[in-house]
Amino acid sequence: MPGRAEFLASIRHRTQAGRYKPTNAPDVAWTGESREGESIGDPPACFIEELEALGGHGKRVGRKEEAREYVLELAREREAGLLVRWDVDELEALRVDVPLNDAGIEVVVWRDLADFREVASKADIGLSTAAWAIAETGTLVLEGGPGMGRSVTLLPQTYVAVVPVERILRTVPEAIEKYAGVGNGLPANVCFHTGPSRSGDIEMALFVGMHGPGDVHVILVG
């Protein structure tokens, strides 16, 4: 076991500028300053670029049918046996349940039952929509409510969100502004979900997927 001096030397070495970079994300934390001076001319392309820099997967499609095919193909690739999804009209309109069942993949729809956390923990894939997507950071804004259990987005190893392109915002302040002054009209909860889950320890060892999905896919439709 290394001594104290060797241990501290290892920490210094790993944290020196340019020596340790666990992802392709920016080297500095977000400060609250928007990229107002930096034009985001193509928000969908920017969102996908930022998401993929964090280790996620982004795809823009023109129609719901293409989104459905992406989900089906991904489930086959992951050899999924169980998919759990939100109980919302948008995902009903995706009409993915029957093709998944035909492929031998069970689909369970979240209906706010007491045992659904256990069901979600056993699922291979979680499928939801998102209230907003933020181009500058590759972030999803997820709202809680009836049929929209957070366990769907947290417990399965693979998480998929299907988002219309008209819900893409350019900056984080734009997203925050959506909830400013709403008061009692706020959703049950609002979460900012950025890329795959990451956890790091004092030795700077990065682990993906420890406290959430390690495999994140966002399909932009439109």
CATH number of 177's domain: 3.40.50.10420
For residue 186, name the pLDDT band (cuts at 50, 70, 90).
confident
In a domain, 200, yes or no: yes
Structurally, how many domains does the chain consist of?
1
For residue 208, name the pLDDT band (cuts at 50, 70, 90).
low
In a domain, 187, yes or no: yes
Pick from 202, 168, 201: which is nearest to 50 by CA?
168
In a domain, 138, yes or no: yes
pLDDT at 203: 56
In a domain, 23, yes or no: no
In a domain, 31, yes or no: no
Domain that holds residue 123: 40-221
Please write the tens of the pLDDT for every residue from 101-117.
999 999 999 875 667 88
In a domain, 9, yes or no: no
Q: How many CB atoms neighbour CB 152 within 10 A?
A: 28
In a domain, 12, yes or no: no
In a domain, 183, yes or no: yes
State whether the Cα torsion 97-98-101-103 is positive or negative. negative
pLDDT at 68: 97
Q: What is the overall mean pLDDT for the chain?
A: 82
Q: Does residue 137 contact residue 50 with C-beta atoms inside 8 Å?
A: yes
Q: Does residue 208 contact residue 187 with C-beta atoms inside 8 Å?
A: no
Instruction: Inform me whether the pLDDT recorded for 11 exceeds 90.
Output: no
Report the percent of the chain where pLDDT is more than 70.
Answer: 74
